[in-house]
Amino acid sequence: MPRGAVKKSVRSHPTIGSPPSSASWEFDIKRNDLCWSIALRELLKAGANESEPHFGEFLERINPSDRESFVRSMAAARLGVPFEMDLQIASRVSLGRVLHVQAVPVCNRSGEIVSVVGICHSAQAKSRQTSFRQTEILLAQAERIANFGTWSFNIQAQHGTVSPHLAHMLGIEPGLKVTEEDYWSKLHPDDRERIIEITRSAVHNGRPFEYAARYFLPNGGVRHHFVRGIPLTDGDGVTSSICGIIYDFSDQTHAEGELQRLSQKLLRARDDERRNVARELHESTGQTLAALKMSLGRLREAMPEDDERLHGLLQSAVELAEDAVREVRTLSYLMHPAMLDEAGLRSALHWYVKGFAERSGISVQVNVPEDFGRHGQEIETTIFRIVQEALTNIHRYSGSRTASISLTRQGDCVSAVVQDKGCGLPAPTSPRDRGPQLGVGIVGMRERVKQLNGSFEMESAPGKGTTVRIMLPVCPRESNC
């Protein structure tokens, strides 16, 4: 629901006569801005000239005993959890007014939660305790199911409170007051300074913030947390507190790590299998065909010289044997060039490109410095496979008659760049449209680079060709990492 539409609807119906029994409001998450309707103004008995409050100012109107529960519910709504509760509100002319609040999160077209929209009804105070208890139970259930917790931090008092489930997630006693140092000291040292800077900058500027961090539990375990926070201002516009949520995605991180290890194991097994098949083709099938060619040569010596028909058949058999030898040699080399293991990546690429140019008619320039050196088996195999796949795509899709390959050593990394001057890829017309389907080759390249903690980039534009660029951290060849 567009924010402007909400404002229009909540402002265009002023009430006449007695105070209304219900009213609406909207909280814009990105702007940290609260919009309240004319009906809500009358329901709260606010002055006609009184300006709309910031969210922090609105909180000041809520009875302190209800405020923390409302803040936690609003934090949960940012994750998509609707809530319903009773609030005791204090206006300038009335104390103890009870409002029944119902709120739901609102998403934009891409599924991002952009606001929380609610409605308030006059409520009887006698049902407040029951309503609050139900809200607390529902929120606690939502936190356990989604594995998140809510928190708030009072800047003046320099301590914060956390929900019971968040206390369980952090490994602390429920109800314990938490200081900044209590939290900072539990963060991974590599994350701590970055997160302190993010948080303090957000508080100083009064802007929402978010970050991912590794958190040490008291028992020594490490959890991965995603944190979102909203600074809240008082009547003078000064940030007085912060509220937010912490989502534990450790299980997802562990599953992704296991998937990555399995994927790496599969890639290694596939490369080993290619290496073994290539060796068998070269040492077994290739040798058998070579022996066949030799036997045909001996047969020619034993045949009558004046039998042209037999000589013609024999010549055809010799040519078929030569073709088979070449095809087996080429297949063996494409599956895994022995030169890659023996002479290194530089020599293997020059050899491969020469054969590729002869087969495809594409002129390929190779730029590899003489001092490029040797690297780990996985590094060299990964670069070779990516160059191989990139050249295959150039031949199949680009229409380019030229291509270039550049390998360089940059500090602790090696880079490879493959470029063509072909038709390029069309620009996507929507986030889901990523251009023509190039099979699983691009996915395979990305996955190989990811396994070695490298970076993969592909730049392309219609009529301007395509550039594939990878960067891999170097590991010593001896480690076979």
The CATH number assigned to the domain holding 434 equals 3.30.565.10
Tokens 């390998």 belong to: 407
**Token pair for residue 224?**
């991965």
Residue 275 to residue 278: CA distance in whole angstroms: 5
Q: What is the pLDDT of residue 7?
A: 36
Q: Residue 205: give its domain's CATH number.
A: 3.30.450.20
Question: Do 471 and 374 share a structural domain?
Answer: yes
Q: Which residues of 296-329 are buried (b: 16+ CB within 10 A; e: fewer)?
A: beeeeeeeeeeeeeeeeebeebbeebeebbeebb
Question: Do 377 and 311 share a structural domain?
Answer: no
Flag whether 353 is in a domain.
no
Question: Do 298 and 196 share a structural domain?
Answer: no
Q: Give the residue from 95, 99, 71, 72 showing the smallest Cα distance to 85.
A: 99
Contact status, residue 208 vs residue 231, Cβ threshold 8 Å: yes
Flag whether 267 is in a domain.
yes
Write down which residue in 82, 112, 145 finishes a domain. Answer: 145
Question: Do 161 and 111 share a structural domain?
Answer: no
Tokens 């010799």 belong to: 318
Flag whether 348 is in a domain.
no
Flag whether 11 is in a domain.
yes
**Token pair for residue 132?**
């609050």
Q: What is the pLDDT of residue 362?
A: 92
pTM score, two decimals?
0.42
Flag whether 342 is in a domain.
no
Residue type, 459: E
Residue 127 CB partners (closer than 8 Å, separation 6+): 86
Residue 94 CB partners (closer than 8 Å, separation 6+): 45
Q: What is the pLDDT of residue 121?
A: 74
Flag whether 320 is in a domain.
yes
Question: Do 312 and 261 share a structural domain?
Answer: yes
β-bridge mates for residue 26, sequence order: 35, 117
Measure the CA dihedral 87/88/92/94, to 10°: 130
Flag whether 369 is in a domain.
yes
Per-residue pLDDT of the chain (481 residues; tens, 9 = 90+): 333 333 333 333 333 344 456 677 888 888 777 787 777 767 666 544 455 556 777 787 788 878 888 888 888 888 778 888 888 876 554 455 778 888 888 877 777 888 888 887 776 544 555 555 665 666 666 677 667 888 888 888 888 888 888 888 888 888 788 888 889 899 999 999 999 999 989 888 888 888 998 999 888 888 889 888 888 876 666 778 888 888 888 877 666 666 667 766 776 777 777 767 766 676 667 677 777 877 887 787 778 877 788 878 888 888 888 888 777 777 766 676 767 777 788 888 888 898 889 888 999 999 999 888 888 888 888 898 889 889 988 988 888 999 999 999 888 889 999 999 998 876 544 444 444 444 447 777 888 888 788 899 999 888 889 999 999 998 544 344 4
Instruction: State pLDDT tens for residues 134-156.
Output: 656 666 666 776 678 888 888 88
Question: Do 82 and 21 share a structural domain?
Answer: yes
Residue 105 to residue 146: CA distance in whole angstroms: 16
> What is the number of residues in the chain?
481
Write down which residue in 145, 171, 195 finishes a domain. Answer: 145
Tell me the residue range of the domain where 49 lies: 1-145
Residue 424 to residue 410: CA distance in whole angstroms: 28
Q: What is the pLDDT of residue 467?
A: 93
Element (H, E) at 110: none
Residue 143 to residue 81: CA distance in whole angstroms: 9
Question: Do 161 and 45 share a structural domain?
Answer: no
Question: Do 239 and 100 share a structural domain?
Answer: no
Question: Do 402 and 383 share a structural domain?
Answer: yes
Element (H, E) at 7: helix 3-11
Q: What is the pLDDT of residue 248?
A: 86
Question: Do 140 and 16 share a structural domain?
Answer: yes
Question: Do 326 and 220 share a structural domain?
Answer: no
Write down which residue in 130, 145, 160 finishes a domain. Answer: 145
Flag whether 350 is in a domain.
no
- For the chain, what is the domain count? 4
Question: Do 100 and 68 share a structural domain?
Answer: yes
